[in-house]
Amino acid sequence: RPGSQASSAFGLKFDRPSQRGTHRRGGDRQPASTAYAGKRKHGAAADQHPSSTSSDDDDRCFEPGPPGLLPDGMRGPDLPPMQPTYRFGDPSLPVSRYRRQILYLVENHATTIILGETGSGKTTQVPQFLFEAGWAENGFSIAITQPRRVAATTVATRVAEEMGCDLGTTVGYAVRFDNALTAGRTRIKYLTDGVLLREMLDDPLLSSYSVIIVDEAHERSLATDMLLGLLKKIQRRRPDLRLIISSATLEAAKLRDFFDGGTVSAAAAKRRAAAAAAAAAAAAAGSLPPPPPDPNRTPAVVTVEGRTHPVQVHYLETPAPNYVHAAVESAVSIHCEDLPGDILIFLTGQEEIQAAVGLLEEHARRLAGSRGYSLKLLPLPLYAGLPGAQQQAVFRSTPRGYRKVVAATNIAETSLTIEGVVYVVDCCFVKQRCYNPLSGLESLLVAPISKASAAQRAGRAGRMRAGHCFRLCTEGDFANQLPEVTVPEMQRSNLVSMVLQLKALGIDNVMQFEWLAPPPAEALVRALEELHALKVLDEDARLTPDVGLALAALPLEPGLGAVLLASRELGCCEEVLTLVALMGLHHVWAPAQGAVHALEEAKAKFATAEGDGVTLLNVHKAWRSNGRSAAWAQRHFLNQHALLRADDARDQLLGLMRRHGLLPADKPPPSCEQDMESVCRALAAGRFMNAAVFERIEYNPLAPEGDKGTPVFRLVRYTAQRTNPIKLRIHNSSVLWRSMPSCVVYNTVQQADNGWYEMQGVTAVRPEWLVELAPHMFHKPGPM
């Protein structure tokens, strides 16, 4: 069989030997050979939801129902008779069996916690249940928050399809700088947790929503954690509001305790009894009763048990030097076994995914030429920067005669479920934010995933039938190097944006805020210092009326917002609006497989000595003067989708600035025409916290001859501490790579595995500008 040659042809060996000869085509049988005998089996369900099988836990979580109910406590007599058939939703999904239960609990509890297997239908179905039960009537809507924008947009698309409406009508979404909504008409609204936080600035009690579903709470994104605390506050003022917290892991106790409103007073119990009687009367009259005015403030917990099949986990015998190659080789080996089932590969980011998809396409072409395989490989990417249509493509069912191989980021771990996956290849890494409060440096780092994440990823293989998960590390490394659980984002982030938002919402004492888990005190102190340096906060740590309120109104990280504010006086608002919009996107360049050199040439055409900011402006200008043509963008290795999005973002920012009186509404924003120095000055004015000075050249004794060494930079605010160990260099994606400007400001930092911090989005500035523009921070030119 072709498969046998193929799996040995690739140098990759798993210590759970490959399925050669053990599975029959189309069969679901356990291996006949002893290859797997005695090997541990990971039941995906048990792996992920240890207590989902324990009914004890459920009993504890449910509050006993009124007398006369079935033992599961779920048939409320005060519920109106349900229609026997439901118009909306997919009844085949596990969550559909809990429909009545969920509706009953939501009706009677201020907070309901839904725990359940990924893919059981929590995100797509629950809002439809609520819609049909009347929770989106009388001008109210239902909000569902997502930590990731791709999840918000794709899930909204799916639900609109299921409900048979156009996206942006009854079902819509709102993510930063993009939305599909109709005011007054959208009833089910998927939005990122960050966007809901912004909505609170205009409507602090979120009064347009009857139900808010905080989805993917297990992810513990920074914005979700903030939301939980704020929603708890809102709940006290809005007894009619219902919260649903949905999570893929069973950390219910903590959430339940957090939202527990304490025992109900006698008066409230009386009110509730009266409401139940009224509801029963309404039900008898055939109309829908209003929700009880005083819901039970102890959260209800419901566990949705999904279907999962066992997933067998395989580890490498020896570590793989390059996990992208190893992932591609594993996928091809699996494919060559010629058994049915799609493959899902977890990688850390766009570059890796593009590289993997490119390699897989080569293999697909090669294999298509050889006979003996019943299926053709169909490689597909899935990551945040992908245009919407391509994101949707991974959800379409695999065409006959093909095997889908989806290379995805962490987004496929719990946010999105791809049907038909039987094999998971997991690189066991993730790109993560991390923050060092000592240096104040926030960076992106490719770090090992947690064991909890790995279990989730493996579980993705067991949805259809028994599956396999191939982890690209050794079993020993897995056991010893991976942390048990992922550290919540709040514990590893720069908290500047968070503190600014809380202050804007009137929460002055950030330390005393009710947190599910409080942020580290040093990080909070640092954030306050930084906001003070940006003049967002005054001496008493209150928002300043000019800078503070303005920055809170802009959906930008405060440093970038400060660049925009500074551009007004510097007369380059027109340019900086575009620049800020472009900088918010990570992938303006679209490297094509095997065209690294061509991409470098294309970049060089637009490159300027000022750095990446001005280069981006040149790119945008050239694209505009070529009629925003997609063909032109493709020829120059530019991401058309990203450029269009930047235009939208720019328009929205301009609109916001006008609305908040930061720019006059009747005039175009001031432009500096050709004078790019003002643009660089604006960057220096907002980004001075990210200023670094050139220090020396570091030579690598092992580098090939002719290597000019690496220019080392040092953070300006830390030059006083000569012992500061942080070494910065310019990332090779920057047009200033290998050059030695005396002083730069950067947009973001990424940690390389060899200890370097690499600056991205770099602009050369003059040290004296820093003194001029931020005299409160810098007293004399150059290193201090």
Q: Work out how close the CB of 494 gets to ligand CDP at its nearest, in angstroms, rounded to a whole number.
A: 30
Closest to ligand CDP by CB, 124 or 493: 124
Candidates 76, 121, 448, 559: give the one binding ligand CDP (CB under 6 A).
Answer: 121
- Give the whole-angstrom CA distance, residue 501 versus residue 510: 10
User: Collapsing DSSP states into helix, strand and coil, what is residue 540?
Assistant: coil
Closest to Mg ion by CB, 45 or 523: 45
Positions in 378-407 near ligand CDP (CB under 6 A): 395
Site string (2-41) toward Mg ion, x via CB under 5 A: ----------------------------------------
Candidates 99, 149, 158, 645: give the one binding ligand CDP (CB under 6 A).
Answer: 158
- Give the whole-angstrom CA distance, residue 487 versus residue 523: 15
Closest to ligand CDP by CB, 58 or 612: 58
Candidates 112, 123, 170, 308: give the one binding Mg ion (CB under 5 A).
Answer: 123
Q: Work out how close the CB of 216 gets to ligand CDP at its nearest, in angstroms, rounded to a whole number.
A: 8
Among the listed residues 556, 503, 505, the one whose alpha carbon sits nearest the alpha carbon of residue 527? 503
Q: Would you count residue 93 as binding ligand CDP (CB under 6 A)?
A: yes
User: Reading across the β-sheet that carries 111-116, which strands appear in turn?
Assistant: 178-180, 171-175, 188-192, 141-146, 209-214, 242-247, 111-116, 300-304
Closest to ligand CDP by CB, 28 or 419: 419
Q: Work out how close the CB of 461 gets to ligand CDP at its nearest, in angstroms, rounded to a whole number.
A: 14
Among the listed residues 669, 446, 483, the one whose alpha carbon sits nearest the alpha carbon of residue 579? 669
Candidates 18, 52, 96, 120: give the one binding ligand CDP (CB under 6 A).
Answer: 120
Q: Give the strand pairing for 421-426 and 429-436.
A: unpaired
Q: Work out how close the CB of 414 gets to Mg ion at its nearest, in angstroms, rounded to a whole number.
A: 7
Backbone angles phi, psi at 485, to 5 degrees: -130, 160
Closest to ligand CDP by CB, 122 or 526: 122
Q: Which two tokens stand for residue 96?
A: 């559909």
Q: Work out how close the CB of 154 gets to ligand CDP at its nearest, in angstroms, rounded to a whole number.
A: 4
Helix (H) or strand (E) holding 342: strand 342-346
Stretch that binds ligand CDP, among 152-160, 252-260, 610-618, 656-664 (CB under 6 A): 152-160
CA torsion sign, 361 to 363 to 367 to 369? positive
> Which partner in ligand CDP, Mg ion, none is near 154 (CB below 5 to 8 A by kind)?
ligand CDP
Q: Would you count residue 474 as binding ligand CDP (CB under 6 A)?
A: no
Q: Work out how close the CB of 442 gets to ligand CDP at its nearest, in angstroms, rounded to a whole number.
A: 30
Three-class HEC string of 265-330: CHHHHHHHHHHHHHHHHHHHCCCCCCCCCCCECCCEEEEECCCCCEEEEEEECCCCCCHHHHHHHH
Q: Would you count residue 453 as binding Mg ion (CB under 5 A)?
A: no
Closest to ligand CDP by CB, 69 or 93: 93
Contact 423, 334 (CB under 8 A): yes
- Give the whole-angstrom CA distance, residue 167 versus residue 158: 9
Q: Would you count residue 48 as binding Mg ion (CB under 5 A)?
A: no
Q: Would you count residue 124 as binding ligand CDP (CB under 6 A)?
A: yes
Positions in 674-733 near ligand CDP (CB under 6 A): none
Q: Work out how close the CB of 246 gets to Mg ion at its nearest, in angstroms, rounded to a whole number.
A: 7
Q: Would you count residue 443 as binding Mg ion (CB under 5 A)?
A: no
Stretch that binds ligand CDP, among 123-131, 495-503, 634-642, 739-747 (CB under 6 A): 123-131
Q: Would you count residue 141 as binding ligand CDP (CB under 6 A)?
A: no
Closest to ligand CDP by CB, 307 or 738: 307
Candidates 63, 419, 529, 768: give the one binding ligand CDP (CB under 6 A).
Answer: 419
Q: Would you count residue 417 as binding ligand CDP (CB under 6 A)?
A: yes
Q: How many residues bind ligand CDP (CB under 6 A)?
A: 16
Stretch that binds ligand CDP, among 70-78, 116-124, 372-380, 447-455 (CB under 6 A): 116-124
Q: Residue 587, Cβ neighbours under 10 Å: how many? A: 18
Stretch that binds Mg ion, among 118-126, 281-289, 611-619, 761-769 (CB under 5 A): 118-126
Q: How many residues bind Mg ion (CB under 5 A)?
A: 1
Q: Work out how close the CB of 162 gets to ligand CDP at its nearest, in angstroms, rounded to a whole number.
A: 9
Q: Work out how close the CB of 245 gets to Mg ion at its nearest, in angstroms, rounded to a whole number.
A: 12
Beta bridge partners of 754: none
User: Reading across the β-sheet that carries 757-760, which strands appear in turn?
Assistant: 429-436, 441-448, 748-751, 757-760, 728-730, 710-715, 691-698, 743-745, 763-764
Residues in the chain: 784
Q: Work out how close the CB of 217 gets to ligand CDP at its nearest, in angstroms, rounded to a whole number.
A: 12
Closest to Mg ion by CB, 245 or 573: 245
Q: Would you count residue 118 as binding ligand CDP (CB under 6 A)?
A: yes
Annotate 185-247 with DSSP letters as a single string. Answer: T--EEEEEHHHHHHHHHH-TT-TTEEEEEE--GGG--HHHHHHHHHHHHHHHH-TT-EEEEEE
Q: Would you count residue 690 as binding Mg ion (CB under 5 A)?
A: no
Contact 196, 224 (CB under 8 A): no
Stretch that binds ligand CDP, among 98-106, 117-125, 131-139, 471-479 (CB under 6 A): 117-125
> Which partner in ligand CDP, Mg ion, none is near 158 (CB below 5 to 8 A by kind)?
ligand CDP
> Which partner in ligand CDP, Mg ion, none is near 761 (CB below 5 to 8 A by kind)?
none
Q: Work out how close the CB of 389 gets to ligand CDP at its nearest, in angstroms, rounded to a whole number.
A: 12
Contact 388, 153 (CB under 8 A): yes
Closest to Mg ion by CB, 123 or 308: 123
Among the listed residues 398, 260, 313, the one whose alpha carbon sits nearest the alpha carbon of residue 36? 313
Closest to ligand CDP by CB, 117 or 610: 117
Q: Would you count residue 123 as binding ligand CDP (CB under 6 A)?
A: yes
Closest to ligand CDP by CB, 117 or 575: 117
- Give the whole-angstrom CA distance, residue 102 versus residue 127: 11
Candidates 142, 150, 155, 313: give the one binding ligand CDP (CB under 6 A).
Answer: 155
Stretch that binds Mg ion, among 43-51, 69-77, 121-129, 595-603 (CB under 5 A): 121-129
> How far out from the chain centre does Cα 741 lie?
35
Contact 74, 65 (CB under 8 A): yes
DSSP letter at 559?
H
Closest to Mg ion by CB, 123 or 486: 123
> Which partner in ligand CDP, Mg ion, none is near 116 (CB below 5 to 8 A by kind)?
ligand CDP
Q: Work out how close the CB of 395 gets to ligand CDP at its nearest, in angstroms, rounded to a whole number.
A: 4
Annotate 131-174 with DSSP letters as a single string. Answer: HHTTTT-TT-EEEEEESSHHHHHHHHHHHHHHHT--BTTTEEEE
Q: Residue 540, Cβ neighbours under 10 Å: how many? A: 6
Helix (H) or strand (E) holding 445: strand 441-448
Closest to ligand CDP by CB, 123 or 170: 123
Residue 332's identity, in one-letter code, is: V
Contact 413, 453 (CB under 8 A): yes
Compute the C-alpha angle 336/348/346, nearest 5°: 35
Q: Work out how close the CB of 191 gets to Mg ion at its nearest, in angstroms, rounded to a whole number.
A: 14
- Give the whole-angstrom CA distance, residue 197 versus residue 194: 5
Q: Work out how close the CB of 366 gets to ligand CDP at its nearest, in angstroms, rounded to a whole number.
A: 31
Instruction: Note the residues at the interface with Mg ion (CB under 5 A).
Output: 123
Instruction: Note the residues at the interface with ligand CDP (CB under 6 A).
Output: 93, 116, 118-125, 154-155, 158, 395, 417, 419
